[in-house]
Amino acid sequence: MNAPVHISEDFLTSIRSIVGEQRVKTDHDSLMTWGKDHTKHFDPNPSVVVFPATTEEVAELVKLANQYHIAITPSGGRTGLSAGAVAANGEMVISLDRMNKVLNFYPADRMVHIQAGMITEQLQNYAEEQGFYYPVDFASSGSSQLGGNIGTNAGGIKVIKYGMTRNWILGLTVVTGKGDILHLNKGMIKNATGYALQHLFIGGEGTLGIVTEAEIKLERQPHDLQVLVLGVPDFDAIMPILHAFQSKIDLTAFEFFGELAMQKVLDNGHVQRPFETACPFYVLLEFEAPYEPIMDKAMEIFEHCMEQGWVLDGVMSQNLEQLHNLWRLREDISESIAPFIPYKNDISVLITHVPAFIKEIDDIVTANYPDFEICWFGHIGDGNLHLNILKPADLNKDEFFAKCQVVNKYVFETVKKYNGSISAEHGVGMTKKPYLGYSRSAEEIEYMKALKKVFDPNDVMNPGKLFDL
């Protein structure tokens, strides 16, 4: 644990003059709570936590940080898995918890203007109340914030149909590292007036500035969703199943997980095994079926997959409750394996390369971790795999992570071989920072650093994340 960081009383007085006494916290519990995310690799050590309520207050705080040469860590729902929201070196944490309101709704534009501290599920519920749908969804939607989703370009379980967070952002209000307020794109679909600066902040992990507001596009609500869970014999069967269904039906999700992941979820006792047959791997697919011919086509494809030996067993949801329970088999995995302090890899390649890529990664992991439990799951329909290595009970955390990091080189060399990404949707933060060069060329990284210096010349915005200047 790092020694606590002491900041001047003048700095604290200046912060209080901006946001008020009640919205500044320096007690140990608050620092530990708001100074970290879901990663276990780094200890939090912030100096102060501040809760602004407006974009203007954020701008004043950023200017103050520049004046006192104090670094800033933006804080949302703190559900990140790459230490992008960990304040480890005395930073001022700016939490957007109070900035969680709907500012305006534009039904004709299918657009909502929100503050970036809004919880993802809160936006989903609001969209539903208006007769619309916000499709970016994942296990942490009940606690993640839109600002964090934007900062990491979050993906989740519906990417195969709806794409990443980036696809739904029509405009952003940001405070740059200099304290300037920029209103980017202002919600327009058509805007051919030069650089689309909003896209630099989507996936920027708070290194250029803080997203405080967003104009977000909404979609029509899906109708008559159906879920199939299929048991499959091996990795090689998964992609043929995807192609078989995708060629005839528009899928809204296509997920996979291994028997170990299934077992960890079942051990929690909240859901039951979907069918008696225990299989090495499982596929969960979802689609809209408002018309009977779509259901008939789905059953026809299922029978074809059985005949080909790609599917060993399967079940289709018969009602809304069963649909939710089948989804829990996939969505509860992260929570179920969390007590085992998993070492996580969130990697992606083109869907074309998935079969060969999985085989190579599986060979590497099996050869190097013969005694470790390996938990596979992911959004395989969009080429995204989550590889989780579970910590044995008799191994301490530091020793376990050190053993896992040895193999990172081989895993990421394979990612690079297939022109893939070392971080598909969780961001780079601090955990993936040493490996950025496997996905980005040296020239790209230099351009990224140059952009950082334009928006944040004094390097106050989330320094040490993504790359080091």
Instruction: Read off the CATH number of the domain in which 329 is found.
Output: 3.30.70.2190
Position 343 confidence tier, pLDDT thresholds 50, 70, 90: confident
Position 208 confidence tier, pLDDT thresholds 50, 70, 90: very high
pLDDT of 465 higher than 80:
yes
Q: Alpha carbon 468 to chain centroid distance?
A: 22
Which of 62, 79, 98 terminates a domain? The answer is 98
Residue 382 sits in a domain of what CATH number? 3.30.70.2740
> E strand or H helix at 198, and its extent?
helix 198-201
- Structure-token pair, residue 274: 């979907």
Which of 98, 113, 133 terminates a domain? The answer is 98
The number of distinct structural domains making up the chain is 4
Contact 426, 165 (CB under 8 A): no
Q: Does residue 79 sit within a domain?
A: yes
pLDDT of 274 higher than 60:
yes
Are residue 203 and residue 106 in the same domain, yes or no?
yes
Q: Does residue 253 sit within a domain?
A: yes
Range of the domain at 142: 102-220
Are residue 353 and residue 438 in the same domain, yes or no?
yes
Whole-number average pLDDT of the chain: 94
pLDDT of 167 higher than 80:
yes
Query: Residue 413: what pLDDT?
Result: 95
Coil/strand/helix, residue 385: strand
Residue type, 140: S
Q: Does residue 449 sit within a domain?
A: no
Are residue 20 and residue 82 in the same domain, yes or no?
yes
Degrees to nearest 5, angle at CA 468 with 465 and 469: 130
Contact 159, 384 (CB under 8 A): yes
Edge-to-edge strands, sheet with 102-106: 102-106, 111-115, 209-217, 169-176, 181-184
Contact 337, 390 (CB under 8 A): yes
Are residue 196 and residue 243 in the same domain, yes or no?
no
Are residue 169 and residue 188 in the same domain, yes or no?
yes
Residue type, 304: H
pLDDT tens digit sequence for 107-122:
999 999 999 999 999 9
- In terms of residues, how long is the chain? 469
pLDDT tens digit sequence for 9-58:
999 999 999 999 999 999 999 999 999 998 877 899 999 999 999 999 99
Cα–Cα distance measured from residue 55 to residue 60, given in angstroms and rounded to the nearest whole number: 9
Are residue 35 and residue 65 in the same domain, yes or no?
yes
Which of 302, 334, 366 terminates a domain? The answer is 334
Q: Does residue 24 sit within a domain?
A: yes
Are residue 121 and residue 147 in the same domain, yes or no?
yes
Q: Does residue 65 sit within a domain?
A: yes
Residue 212 sits in a domain of what CATH number? 3.30.465.10
Contact 231, 182 (CB under 8 A): no
- Structure-token pair, residue 97: 């918890």
Are residue 106 and residue 161 in the same domain, yes or no?
yes
- Cα torsion through 96, 100, 103, 105, rounded to 10: 130
Are residue 73 and residue 133 in the same domain, yes or no?
no
